[in-house]
């Protein structure tokens, strides 16, 4: 026993001299014995394993190191731990295995759960117990490469179906990194064609890469449930009823959806020559809570009106529409037989029904400006995509602030601040970008902002 203690003491001193960390913190100091010749050489070495992809591991444990127990000539017991990046410690069994769950959690603590291969510095430590003494013997550092298990979360998702009249409508997210926040949301008007209430509606969810998400049962109209990722996925059904708007949330980490039926519809619809005079399929202006005005952006081409509901008023279903004669203050808008009228173009509009005021500013350009894209001196111009009805730009972004500007000016109420998930011209706050990288920016006419990380 004396010979063993002397040798382990010598080995421990030599090993720890070359290490920056005190692996013996909280471990009993070795006992002291007189000088005796060491009984034999104790060795401890460990090597790494091939890269581990936890998405392909179905077992409860996975091997993280190859090693043999330290060679001793006395009766001892051994236990093992592994330090990863000097931040997380894992229990390792005598065959070099850790539990899959613990390894997943460790990588998540250090890097997050994005399914990207992470290279970590690993140090395996043997704890040698002899009597009442415990000695920590670290092996040489090696690399451990691990890809955490996680669903592939894309940066953009869209709803498509009768709920949105077949148009792709983007979900919003509060983060530039979908693994930092995997919940996407969108709120849209319900399918209403008269005053009898909302009709049944169906929708699928499409990812940016074109994958389809839906449900397994086409007749299931549950307001929450599990998503199915498959080309055979069935559309999600929303039964009709007494509501006017629908909020849809998807949690892509959990693979679930939730639907909320909302009795309010803070919109004005814009039927007109630009879309066939069909209110239920028309673009909308939005009325923020606590604000008197509706606002929004739309393509226009000649005559149009505003309606307070997604159908034309008549004697049987009531309703209200607003034409040229309703407004006492009209900035740059012509009269077309009682309709409002503007030349073909894209317009930013504000409508205050109480004050009978309407204004339209033609959007000739859109740019992004701020510390997130290089500074506040010069903006980067986005290009309009007429097919997708959005302004788009591919650029490097860093964590910082930014705004989106109409016509590259700081004119009041036509620069968009607020938050990533709800840009608005009525906020003085800058939009905060929380993740650096190369992004494709898409800013839709519906005012939804999508950042697609490359």
Q: Where are the domains of the chain?
A: 2-147, 151-263, 267-362
Average pLDDT on 16-30 reads 38
Residue 231 pLDDT > 60, yes or no?
yes
Query: Is 321:309 a contact under the CB 8 Å cutoff?
Result: no
Taking only the tens place, the pLDDT of each residue in 312-354 is 998 888 899 999 999 999 988 999 999 999 999 999 999 999 9
Spatial CB neighbours of 276, under 8 Å, sequence gap ≥ 6 = none
Distance CA 358, CA 253 (A): 43
Residue 238 pLDDT > 70, yes or no?
yes
Paired sense of beta strands 228-229 and 201-207, if any? unpaired
At the topology level of CATH, where does 267-362 sit? Immunoglobulin-like (2.60.40)
Residue 200 pLDDT > 80, yes or no?
yes
Instruction: Map the chain to HEC letters.
Output: CHHHHHHHHHHHHHHHHCCCCCCCCCCCCCCCCCCCCCCCCCCCCEECCCCEEHHHCCCCEEECCEECCCCCCCCCEEEEEEEECCCEEEEECCCCEEEHHHHHHHHHHHHCCCCCCEEEEEEEEEEEEECCEEEEEECCCEEEEEECCCCCCCCCEEEEEHHHCCCCEECECCCCCCCCCCEEEEEEECCCCCCCCECCEEEEEEECCCCEEEECCCCCCCCEEECEECCCCECEEECCECCCEEEEEEECCCCEEEEEEECCCCEEECCECCCCCCHHHCCEEECCCCCCCEEEEEEEEEEECEECCCCCCECCCECCEECHHHCCEEECCEEECCEEEEEEEEEEEEEECCCCEEEEEECCCEEEEEHHHCEEEEEEEEEEECCCCEEEEEEEECCEEEEEEECCCCCCCCEEEEECCEEECCCCCCEEECCCEEEEEEEECCCCEEEEEC
What pLDDT, on the 0 to 100 scale, is given for residue 73? 65
Residue 148 pLDDT > 90, yes or no?
yes
What pLDDT, on the 0 to 100 scale, is given for residue 281? 92
Distance CA 422, CA 194 (A): 29
Which class does domain 151-263 fall in? mainly beta
Least-confidence region, from 75-84, 129-138, 327-336: 129-138
**In residues, how long is the chain?**
454
Average pLDDT on 98-121 reads 92
Paired sense of beta strands 142-147 and 52-53, if any? parallel
Residue in this structure with the two tokens 């998702």, named with its chain if needed = 157
Average pLDDT on 289-299 reads 91
Least-confidence region, from 30-39, 126-135, 380-389: 30-39
CB count in 10 Å sphere of residue 351: 22
Distance CA 17, CA 32 (A): 19
Identical fold for domains 2-147 and 267-362, yes or no, is yes
Average pLDDT on 398-426 reads 92
Q: Indicate the CATH number for domain 2-147.
A: 2.60.40.3640
Average pLDDT on 183-193 reads 95
Average pLDDT on 234-244 reads 96
What pLDDT, on the 0 to 100 scale, is given for residue 12? 41
Q: Which of 381, 378, 401 is nearest to 443 (CA)?
A: 381
What pLDDT, on the 0 to 100 scale, is given for residue 112? 84
Distance CA 208, CA 392 (A): 14
Residue 17 pLDDT > 50, yes or no?
no
What pLDDT, on the 0 to 100 scale, is given for residue 389? 96
The dihedrals phi and psi of 175, each to the nearest 5 degrees, come to -135, 150
Residue 9 pLDDT > 50, yes or no?
no
What pLDDT, on the 0 to 100 scale, is given for residue 69? 86
Tell me the percentage of the chain whose pLDDT exceeds 70.
Answer: 91
What pLDDT, on the 0 to 100 scale, is given for residue 38? 29
Residue 175 pLDDT > 80, yes or no?
yes
What pLDDT, on the 0 to 100 scale, is given for residue 42? 62
């Amino acid at each position: 026993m004396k010979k063993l203690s002397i040798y382990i003491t010598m080995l421990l001193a030599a090993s720890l001299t070359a290490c920056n960390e005190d692996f013996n913190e909280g471990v009993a100091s070795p006992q002291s014995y007189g000088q005796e010749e060491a009984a034999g050489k104790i060795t401890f070495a460990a090597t790494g394993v091939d890269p581990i992809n936890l998405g392909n591991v179905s077992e409860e444990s996975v091997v993280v190191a190859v090693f043999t127990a330290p060679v001793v000539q006395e009766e001892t017991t051994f236990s093992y731990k592994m330090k990863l990046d000097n931040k997380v410690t894992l229990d390792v069994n005598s065959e070099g295995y850790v539990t899959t769950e613990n390894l997943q959690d460790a990588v998540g603590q250090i890097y997050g759960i994005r399914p990207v291969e992470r290279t970590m510095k690993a140090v395996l430590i043997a704890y040698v117990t002899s009597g009442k003494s415990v000695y920590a013997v670290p092996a040489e550092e090696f690399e451990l490469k691990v890809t955490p298990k996680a669903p592939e979360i894309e940066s953009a998702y869209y709803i498509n179906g009768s709920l949105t009249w077949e148009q792709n409508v983007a979900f919003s997210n509060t983060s530039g990194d979908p693994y930092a926040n995997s919940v996407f949301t969108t709120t849209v008007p319900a399918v209403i064609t008269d005053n009898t209430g909302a009709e049944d509606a169906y929708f699928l969810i499409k990812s940016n890469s074109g994958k389809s998400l839906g449900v397994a049962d086409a007749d299931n109209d549950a307001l929450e449930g599990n998503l199915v990722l498959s080309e055979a996925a069935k559309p999600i059904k929303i039964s009709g009823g007494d509501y006017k708007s629908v909020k849809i949330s998807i949690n892509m980490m959990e693979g679930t959806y939730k639907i909320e039926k909302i009795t309010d519809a803070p919109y004005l619809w814009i039927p007109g020559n630009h879309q066939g005079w069909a209110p239920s399929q028309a673009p909308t202006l939005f009325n923020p809570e606590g604000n008197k005005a509706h606002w929004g952006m739309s393509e226009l081409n000649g005559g149009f009106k505003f309606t307070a509901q997604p159908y034309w008023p008549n004697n049987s279903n009531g309703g209200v529409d607003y034409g040229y004669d309703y407004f006492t203050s009209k900035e740059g808008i012509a009269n077309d037989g009682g309709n409002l009228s503007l030349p073909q173009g894209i317009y930013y509009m504000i409508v205050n029904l109480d004050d009978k005021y309407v204004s339209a500013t033609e959007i000739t350009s859109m740019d992004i400006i701020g510390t997130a894209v290089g500074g506040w001196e010069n903006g980067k111009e986005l290009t309009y995509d007429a097919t997708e009805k959005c302004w788009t730009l591919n650029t490097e972004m860093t964590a910082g602030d930014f705004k989106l500007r109409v016509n590259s000016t700081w004119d009041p109420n036509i620069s968009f601040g607020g938050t990533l998930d709800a840009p608005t011209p009525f906020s003085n706050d800058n939009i905060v970008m929380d993740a650096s990288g190369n992004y494709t920016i898409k800013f839709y006419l519906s005012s939804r902002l999508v950042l697609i990380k490359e």
